[in-house]
Amino acid sequence: MVRFLSVDQHLPATTSSTTWWRALNSNRLGQSQPTQLAHDLGAYARRFEAFGWHAIQVDGHNVEQLLKAWAEARQVKGQPVVVLAQTYKGRGIEGVEDLEGFHGKPVPVEKTEAIKAKLQSQTPLKWDIPKPAYDVPKIDLKIGENKITTPNYKLGEKVATRAAYGTALVKLADQNPRILGLDGDMRNSTFSEQLWKKSPTQYVECYIAEQQMVGAAIGLSCRDRSIPFVSTFAAFLTRAADQIRMGAVCFANVKFVGSHCGISIGEDGPSQMALEDLALFRAVPNSVVLYPSDAVSTEYATELAANHRGIVFIRTGRPALPVVYENNEKFAIGQSKVVKKSGSDKLVIVAGGVTLNEALKAAEQLEKEGVNAAVIDIFSVQPIDRQTLLETAQKSEGKVLTVEDHYQPGGIGEAVAAALSDVPNIVIRRLNVKEVPRSGAPDALLDRYGISAKHIVAEAKKF
């Protein structure tokens, strides 16, 4: 609540003549008991005023008072406004109004006749309500037309995927003013600061208030007014899980970019290592989950997100990873990439992000030992590319090894296993983080928790 009040105070108005308005309805009752402050509007007002708000108290059942409050709000400049409305649950129903025990329950049958009589005794009203005028210009979000300029990287060059995201976001925002960036005080780590520096009017700093940030993004996406990209550490997005799931309920068009995923962030330690984020977003209805493994695929993942209507999650990482793809490589939602194969593969390794690099190193070592292994960059965790997985597995003796910088529940291994669960003669082995990790150097942690190249080689030999 404190962060909510302070964030709104500092959000910029869209013009010098507008300010931020909020309404708070106080009906005294919770579900199981009265709320702490009940109808003490003065207490609410003092709390808002302490953060610089202009507070207006009204009877929420009095239309005249409400109209006067909003008229007063229009006169306030350079200060956020909150209208505090006192209301009563069950207003006007004798034996129900302002009483406990009626939350989520229908009106008692014995009271319905009295209610009908009261309604019928009132002067009949005839309403002639005109349809609201849609007096704002229509916005073209250019869904399907948002394009980045071709990436400019060299094969083998090491670039963090989080940095490539910042580059792509600026490219998209340059050609579409309705693409916005929101961040939770992590812009210098998520690289959304590139947009903040280049086009500050297309960036909203939400501070460390992830629930507020996600709620704001959902609002910004309403009625096709903008395409918001929300970025912070992937671990911190879990704080807004309820807002994210409610965004899915209302079919919000919001893009989430979670950086600093997995143990590969290294020294920052487990409090900031996202190891549950794939599970969170895979569980969101109709969501798209993309996990790019290099700078090129990250830029195209960002472009794909802007052109998809609905919730998209892009998982980016902290370490600088070698560029795997040519700058003109084509990517699609629901498509994986076979980055290594031969005509005599004995297994296929499925990886993503930092573990793709480990998988390629492991495949090279296995080849030296006389064992050919195909390698798939999963890229699209959801929807998953079942066809590519199945075809490659069947050409690799039906042996599949998944490796991921994530806990097992909800991760890549479970996604692959679910996709191939109805196929006979497919054997799947999985490598993933199996315990709460500790702080350390990234390479040391990959090795300690069993997802480094040497562990992939060892697991491959168990088939």
Beta strands in 260-369 (DSSP E): 288-291, 312-315, 320-322, 337-340, 347-351
Q: Name the DSSP letter for residue 217.
A: H
Q: Please indicate whether residue 210 is annotated as part of the active site.
A: yes
When computed from its CA atoms, the radius of gyration of the chain, rounded to whole angstroms, is: 27
Least Cα distance to 377 among 393, 360, 365, 364 occurs for 360
Helix (H) or strand (E) holding 400: strand 399-407
For residues 452 and 356, the answer to whether their CB atoms sit within 8 Å is no
Q: Which residues contact 109 (CB under 8 A, 6 or more apart)?
A: none
Cβ–Cβ under 8 Å, residues 131 and 216:
no
Residues 6+ apart with CB under 8 A from 48: 5, 55, 82, 84
First to last CA, the chain: 54
Q: Are 277 and 410 in contact (CB under 8 A)?
A: no
- Which residues, at least 6 apart from 2, have a Cβ–Cβ distance to it below 8 Å? 51
CA nearest neighbour of 231 among 251, 261, 201: 261
Query: How far is CA 263 from its chain centroid?
Result: 20
Pairing state between β 158-160 and 320-322: antiparallel
Residue 412's identity, in one-letter code, is I
Please work out, in degrees rounded to the nearest 5, the angle formed at the alpha carbon of residue 252 by the alpha carbons of 247 and 255.
95
Using alpha carbons, select from 299, 220, 283 the residue that is nearest to residue 415. 283
Query: Of these residues, 193, 205, 210, 459, which one is catalytic?
Result: 210
Task: Give the tokens for residue 69.
Answer: 């409050």
- Strands, E, within 186-305: which ranges? 203-205, 227-233, 255-259, 288-291
- φ/ψ of 220, rounded to 5, equals -65, -25
> Which of these, 208, 214, 161, lies nearest to 186 by C-alpha position?
208
How far is the C-alpha of 18 from the C-alpha of 76, rounded, in Å? Answer: 8
User: Cα separation of 420 and 127, whole Å?
Assistant: 60
Q: Which residues does the annotation mark as catalytic?
A: 210
